[in-house]
Amino acid sequence: MITSLLAFLVAVGLLVFVHEMGHYLAARSVGVHVLRFSVGFGRPLFMRRDRRGCEWVVAAIPLGGYVRMLDRNEPDTEAPAEALPVPSGAQSFDQKALAARAWVVVAGPLANFVFAAAAYALLGLVGRMEPLPVLHAPPADSIAAARGLAAGDTIVSANGAAVRGFSDLRWELARGSIGQGRPVLDLEVQSAGSAGSASRSVQIDLSSKARELQTDSPDALLAAAGISPESLAVRLTAIQPGSAAERAGLQAEMLVLAVNGSAVRHPRDLQALVQQSQGAAITLDIVQTPAGNPYEEIPGSRRQLSLTPEASADGRLRLGVGIAPLHELTQVREGLGQALWRGTVRTYEVAELSLQALGRMVVGDLSWRQISGPVGIAGVAGQSAELGLIAFIGFLALVSISIGVLNLLPIPMLDGGHLLYYLYEWVRGQPLPLEVQQAGQKLGLVLIAILTGFALVNDVSRVFGF
């Protein structure tokens, strides 16, 4: 809970600062006087005035921020102009040309996109370890098996994009499933043991699975299709107190290599053999690994343990362990130029996916339950922070893009709403009447309140499971 709260505050504070700094620097670049730069709303907790007369504020409500510029057409009850010192000769926002005002407005979302591209580039430079795009044997009755995929097949590309690790495959499926409502993978596959030979094309259409499971989740669809990265062994992640596994001496970080002499390399292999035991005692070949390094065997730790599976409330036999596959990993790392390019491309792709998903929600093709509010974001922030700095940076990039996209929507009160007003001014040659702008602000406030309500309802339903 504390981790989630701290991670959320850090993420919101940093990304709001980035967004408002974009507005601030753009305003300074065209000579507009800035009265206040605030991270948060409400009562100031910290305030400092610089030599230019701008107040730098950290306020009590950390759910946004603002840059208050000298603008005689836009009074602000939070920081009225007459309460802030204005140097003689200071230039007002409303006196600037249309292009300058548009630049100041668009610079906030642009800063969020630049931050995300830099974050993704940094992740590319640092590199990441992820499962090789080599397939484990799919179940005999799966879509993958029906399409001819087999153990050891290597996925070379998906939907025309190169696949370097398994996360690339998930991303391409997400773009089709969530963004377009078309969960189809056009794969280029190289058969096991045929390195250097010609590859073959395989199309995996998961539309029926998406309808059956009522999900657009790439992970859920890949699992349902029988597509998973090659597993070397079964790793024990947790031991249930009082279970048969605990009584037998099983411990987290152990690897299960065989059951009754039959090799197991994937969790479903272990699950199948446990069910086949029909409640009789089984013998596990196990090996202990050091904490945090399941790829290294502790010398002399190989041994056999016997235990009897126990029936659970649903009638299935269980050992009382948490299990996960042990994948062969590869390091995906990029040079500076490639990292900068891929960071920019990934930022564009995520922004495009966000807009596509929002469009599908508007027409009723995608559930509004996909939207998360502060509670949901805080939960994900905490989870990513616990996974480490790399995961948290990836989370920051994703949220930064979301902030940029949201602020560009043509809704009054948001940056996109101001740009809509400026478009009218550019076409007609005169500003939109002030009373129309004020009515638009009220409408925008209602729309934002509705969107916030959806997000909060979704947060509550996730927390309480309904």
> Are 26 and 104 spatial neighbours (Cβ–Cβ below 8 Å)?
yes
Residue 260: alpha-carbon gap to chain centroid: 41
DSSP class of 134 = B
| Distance of alpha carbon 7 from the chain centroid | 15
Contact 455, 376 (CB under 8 A): yes
Please answer whether residues 165 and 132 qualify as being in contact, where contact means their C-beta atoms are separated by less than 8 angstroms.
yes
Catalytic sites, residue numbers: 20
| Residue 91 DSSP one-character state | B
> What six digits make up the tokens of 23?
């507005």
Spatial distance between the Cα atoms of 456 and 466, rounded to a whole number of angstroms: 13
Backbone angles phi, psi at 383, to 5 degrees: -60, -45
Distance from C-alpha of 193 to C-alpha of 208, rounded to nearest angstrom:
32
Residues 6 or more apart from 120 whose CB is under 8 A from it?
339, 342, 343, 346, 347, 394, 397
Nearest to 242 by CA among 310, 289, 315, 314: 310
